[in-house]
A and B are shown apart, each in its own frame.
Chain A
Amino acid sequence: MTSLPEFLKELFESWPLLGILPVWFYSIVAIFGLLFLFLFPFAGVAVYVERKIAGDIQARIGPNVVGPYGILQWIADALKLLLKEDIIPTNADKKLFILSPMLIFISGACAYAVIPFADNVILANLNIGIFYLLAITSMVTLGLILGGWASNNKWSLLGGLRAAAQVVSYEIPVALSILTVVLVTGTLDMAQIVKMQGPFYWNIFHNPFLFISACIYYIAALAEANRTPFDIPEADSELVSGYNTEYSGMRFAIFFLIEYAECFIICAVATTLFLGGWHLPFFDLSSLTLGLRIPLQIMVFMTKSILLLLTMMWIRWTLPRYRVDQLMKLCWEVFVPFSFACLIGTAFWMVLFKGKGIPELILGLFVS
């Protein structure tokens, strides 16, 4: 079980020039590869796909001018945003105004360091992986509230404060659901969590409480990423655009990019924790050769994550928006008690059945 930089180092060990390079060089290569080959294009394509889905759901065509089926729309959008003037309002707090997108970018992008795309394809195989992810993603709140405050704009201030209250509240059901998984797996290591689930024992089927936990995680994470039906911080019809009202050009693009990057992180974490990561059901991929195994594992992982992402988009374009008071009520009076109940329920299940899940118990019946 190694991380991607170490894996690359091993792979190129016998090469004349690449073999002598230190591991941290491979780290840098891997990070740039992730950012430019995966994160930026993926977020762009996700925006295009979302607009196309929105078009389909609302019986419109969606983007269809740039390229065949409008598929190059995201490149045109990125170029347009790059060429737009960068406006910093005179009344704004300039330092904080500049700092906010940076903080958001750091917290959004650095979370990708512990996403296990396949066996060995994980940037940093931390032993506290999921805890690190929880810590780094909550830095987004800081960026949002800074952006809202620094803009010195009423819409931004309201949006930023709403975002802070909402993200902070929904962090608790999310963290509790993750804690429930940790009770079952007994490790915080992302790659280890996937390894433990194997082709049969996916965490979502471990016990009924964990199934509810998975649902709570998905819904609460939607709220944490400010997606509809919980997009109160940037509710366009009441707050113009929320905390990013005053941002323009590339700075706005970064807010937009990280929103989609975060959506993928949510889906990837849900896949890792509950849906068995890179494992196919009933078929053990780890017996295949290296050249075949890694692309297949990445494909399986991406398929699961993208299905969850498409569900997210489907939800966005079919459900109306919540009200602030309903949102807070839903979090504190429904999700928090339920996730506590799931935590205690899972702990009880573990004590009762000595850590065995439903699939294991059923298989045990056949064996004995």
Chain B
Amino acid sequence: MYTQFTTILLFLIIGACMVPLILLVGRYLRPANPDPKKLSTYECGELPKGNSWVQFNLRFYVIAILFLIFDVEIAFMFPVAVTFRQWVTSSQAKGVLIFSEIILFIAILLIGFVYAWTKGDFEWIKGLQKKQIDPRFRGDDLK
């Protein structure tokens, strides 16, 4: 049975096979003489210091959560947006109804958005200038 998604499935399969295929072709053409220095991690010519699988700043985590909320909201908005034109052109009352529904839906999200904004989650250098660090945690006693 053929549907439009058959092409998508075939495209995904071909796309997944393409990269190994290109590399396989290249395998017979390219040289392969590895040595430990060549295979070491690049750090501007210096010997690499330590591992780079480190814990990183949680600021990325806040952004990821914000993205998740917004993206889910947008995904939910798509069905409404598809029927919007039909409702608006059919009658005035229906148009006002669907418009107020959209406003309500966005307003709930915007409250969260404003909260995150005022809390300073969109500031990249958050917490460095505004908040005074508690002297107990500053680490002066370690010196």
Contacts and interface: CB of A to CB of B under 8 A. Distances in A.
A126 B4 contact: yes
Given A113-B7, A132-B8, A355-B88, A325 B43 contact: no
A149 B53 contact: yes
B15 A110 contact: yes
B102 A344 contact: yes
Interface string A331-350: 01100110010011001101
Contact of B110 (A175, A240, A340): A340
Interface string A40-55: 0000000000000000
Contacts of A161: 56, 60
A341 B59 CA distance: 27
B33 A85 contact: yes
A31 B39 contact: no
Contact of A184 (B43, B56, B85): B85
Nearest to A350: B88
A28 B10 contact: yes
Contacts of B81: 179, 182-183, 186
B123 interface: yes
Contacts of A340: 106, 110
B36 A90 contact: yes
B23 A106 contact: no
Interface residues of A, number: 86
A302 interface: no
B137 interface: no
A165 B63 contact: yes
B106 to A, nearest CB: 6
Contacts, number: 215
B10 A24 contact: yes
Given A348-B99, A355-B89, A27 B7 contact: yes
Contacts of B30: 82-86, 249
A175 to B, nearest CB: 5
B88 to A, nearest CB: 5
Interface in B114-141: 117, 122-125
A347 B4 contact: no
Contacts of A300: none
A109 B54 CA distance: 32
A47 B6 CA distance: 32
Interface in A55-86: 82-86
A84 B32 CA distance: 9
A106 to B, nearest CB: 4
A358 interface: no
Contacts of A348: 99
Nearest to B96: A351
Contacts of A86: 23, 26-27, 30, 32
Contacts of A306: none
Contacts of B63: 165, 168-169, 328
A351 B92 CA distance: 7
A325 B124 CA distance: 5
B97 to A, nearest CB: 10
A52 B29 CA distance: 30
Given A22-B2, A91-B51, A186-B84, A109 B44 contact: no
Contacts of B74: 172, 175-176, 179
Contacts of A184: 85
A154 B125 CA distance: 21
Contacts of B16: 102, 106
Contacts of A188: 78, 82
Contact of B41 (A82, A152, A182, A249): A152
Contact of A332 (B44, B122, B125): B122
Interface of A: 3, 5-6, 22-24, 27-28, 30-32, 35, 82-92, 101-102, 105-106, 109-110, 113, 123-127, 131-132, 149, 151-157, 161, 164-165, 168-169, 171-172, 175-176, 179, 182-188, 240, 245-246, 249-251, 254, 324-325, 328-329, 332-333, 336-337, 340, 343-344, 347-348, 350-351, 354-355
6 contacts: A106-B15, A110-B12, A152-B51, A186-B85, A351-B92, A355-B88
